[in-house]
Chains A and B, each alone.
Chain A
Amino acid sequence: MEFLEIIKALCEGFGKTLLLFAITLLASLPLGLVISFGSRSKFIPLKAFCRGLVWIIRGTPLMLQVLLVTLIPYYLFNVGNTTIISFFGIKMKSLLFVYASLAFILNYACYFSEIFRGAIEGMPKGQYEAGAVLGMTKGQIFRKIIFLQLVKKTLTPVSNEVITLVKDTALASVAGVIELYTMAESLVNEFVVLTPLFYAAAFYLIFNGLLTVLFAFLEKKLNFYKE
């Protein structure tokens, strides 16, 4: 019953992949929006910080960032992982997962922020002005007028990033997270067969297929208006 065992293990790994994927998306999309605001801020230190952050994050490999995040507590604050585990009362496995999540969230937020910044800057000025002369607050203008147009404009580049993210989750292995890819690799070693790699590929492929369908659906939904 080698096959079932392999599939069961891969499902477990895929669960981790899915969790990392979901957490990263849920946190990095709003964070990306916040960073894009910061990048456009008139307050120079904030703008410099955000642009600098985006430069560093986009300019270095995600794999390296994942590794660095796991090292920060010890090298910067001299706090060992065992101390953190006992302090929060969590398992080592969870801590490593948190590290990976943090690196992924920051990384993807920076990429998203640039997508949003480009779209915000490309938004016709007249939309803001029309809202302004109608007595709307800046917040209302953004929420009621700009936001949906922003979603529509950025849907395609965002979907690209989302699909990349599915595959990038494999890099969490650097932090010691046993997600789909790492699980497949260890199964190859354990059973001395190559099939787990093909099964893993199928998992990724099917999931990305579903996401592609989902984005096509959203695109169609947002086609109820044109600019």
Chain B
Amino acid sequence: MSYLEIKNFTKSFGGLQVLKGIDVSIEKSEVLTIIGSSGSGKTTLLRSINFLETPDSGQMLLEGELLFDAAKANQYSDAEIRQKRLNFGLVFQSFNLFPQYTVLKNVTLAPGLLAETSLKKQGLKGRELKRAVHERKLEIEKEGLELLEKVGLTEKKDSYPCELSGGQCQRVAIARAMALKPLVLCFDEPTSALDPELTGEVLRVIKELKESTNMTMIIVTHEMGFAKNVSDKIVFMAEGLVEEEGAPSEVFDNPKSPKLKAFLQGVNSEI
């Protein structure tokens, strides 16, 4: 039994079938990297895992328990989906930071709201609630600062996103996703929107995170060198299917499928 299992995910947009039956599994503390050309369905798969798309069929199991079943998808309430989502974190290609909040507030906003909701659910009211929320928010702030330290942005805690470089923005986004302590952290092409000279700092942060936290990660990327270096397992997707998968050494040095061979040749034929 794997930590996270995705079984037979399919998804169509209009008449176009983007996922044609994807099976992927990942072990705890593993880094899984998904590669493939544009339009192969990588991003749709990642968005489906994060409940931003609803697959037409398929199931997802976390620690052996059924987390999502497409057959019952329309029975899930908004609250259930929110709860299920919290098992995952997602770092977007375009960061999607909240522009009106400082770096630190970007990181602490969601945990603060969740804490407030759960304290209210415990039946706290009035001044008691206020005090409990305040205490909890102080802790959250402390955790937020620790996360910012991890991504090397402690000095920028009071800056606004518009004052940061793309690489710094993405590091904030990583800290923000970590703040909810997800079980699986997903990255959707985290460096694709960055200038080449800024990709390094983001990839370094991801690598350090893997080493320091043992976080389970799913990464969609076009950075092949990084994928080879950081991954425990590579999945190569083509036309909505998993074409080949395996350890990085196998996939990169000894590709079997013709499509993967062609893809790697294309990537490596940089002038």
Q: Are B160 and A225 in contact (CB under 8 A)?
A: yes
B187 close to chain A: CB less than 8 A: no
Q: Which of A185-227 contact B (CB under 8 A)?
A: 224-227
Least CB distance, B111 to chain A, in whole angstroms: 8
Residue of B nearest to A129 (CB): B52
Q: Which of B205-260 contact A (CB under 8 A)?
A: none
Q: Are A149 and B99 in contact (CB under 8 A)?
A: yes
Kindly state the separation between the CA atoms of A180 and B86 in the bound complex, as whole angstroms: 58
Which residue, of A124, A126, A152, has the highest number of chain B Cβ atoms within 10 A?
A126
Quick one: given A135-B180, A136-B113, are A225 and B78 in contact (CB under 8 Å)? no
- Residues of B near A148 (CB, < 8 A) are 100
Quick one: given A225-B162, A226-B162, are A134 and B180 in contact (CB under 8 Å)? yes
Quick one: given A136-B110, A225-B100, are A130 and B92 in contact (CB under 8 Å)? yes
Q: Are A133 and B50 in contact (CB under 8 A)?
A: yes
Interface bin, chain B: 20 to 34
Least CB distance, A20 to chain B, in whole angstroms: 33
One of A135, A145, A152 near B82 (C-beta < 8 A): A135
Q: Are A135 and B98 in contact (CB under 8 A)?
A: no
One of A132, A134, A136, A149 near B100 (C-beta < 8 A): A149
One of B52, B94, B177 near A132 (C-beta < 8 A): B52
One of A126, A135, A225 near B85 (C-beta < 8 A): A135
Least CB distance, A219 to chain B, in whole angstroms: 15
Quick one: given A130-B92, A133-B88, A135-B86, are A145 and B98 in contact (CB under 8 Å)? yes
Q: Are B180 and A129 in contact (CB under 8 A)?
A: no
Kindly state the separation between the CA atoms of A99 and B161 in the bound complex, as whole angstroms: 48
Chain A interface, number of residues (Cβ within 8 angstroms) = 23
Least CB distance, A4 to chain B, in whole angstroms: 50
Least CB distance, B101 to chain A, in whole angstroms: 8
- Residues of B near A152 (CB, < 8 A) are 100
Kindly state the separation between the CA atoms of A112 and B88 in the bound complex, as whole angstroms: 38
Kindly state the separation between the CA atoms of A134 and B106 in the bound complex, as whole angstroms: 11
Least CB distance, B194 to chain A, in whole angstroms: 16
Residue of A nearest to B173 (CB): A130
Residue of B nearest to A227 (CB): B99
- Residues of B near A144 (CB, < 8 A) are 109, 113
Kindly state the separation between the CA atoms of A188 and B195 in the bound complex, as whole angstroms: 69
A127 close to chain B: CB less than 8 A: yes
A160 close to chain B: CB less than 8 A: no
A94 close to chain B: CB less than 8 A: no
B66 close to chain A: CB less than 8 A: no
- Residues of B near A129 (CB, < 8 A) are 52, 92, 96
Quick one: given A134-B176, A137-B78, A140-B113, are A225 and B99 in contact (CB under 8 Å)? yes
- Residues of B near A58 (CB, < 8 A) are none
- Residues of A near B60 (CB, < 8 A) are none
B89 close to chain A: CB less than 8 A: yes
Q: Are A127 and B78 in contact (CB under 8 A)?
A: no
A8 close to chain B: CB less than 8 A: no
A138 close to chain B: CB less than 8 A: yes
Least CB distance, B98 to chain A, in whole angstroms: 5
**What 0/1 pattern do residues 143 to 160 of B give for CB contact below 8 A with A?**
000000000000000001
Kindly state the separation between the CA atoms of A135 and B85 in the bound complex, as whole angstroms: 7
Q: Are A130 and B96 in contact (CB under 8 A)?
A: yes
- Residues of B near A145 (CB, < 8 A) are 98
16 A-B contacts (beta carbon < 8 Å): A129-B92, A132-B85, A133-B50, A133-B51, A133-B52, A133-B90, A134-B180, A135-B83, A135-B85, A135-B110, A136-B110, A136-B113, A149-B99, A224-B160, A225-B162, A226-B99
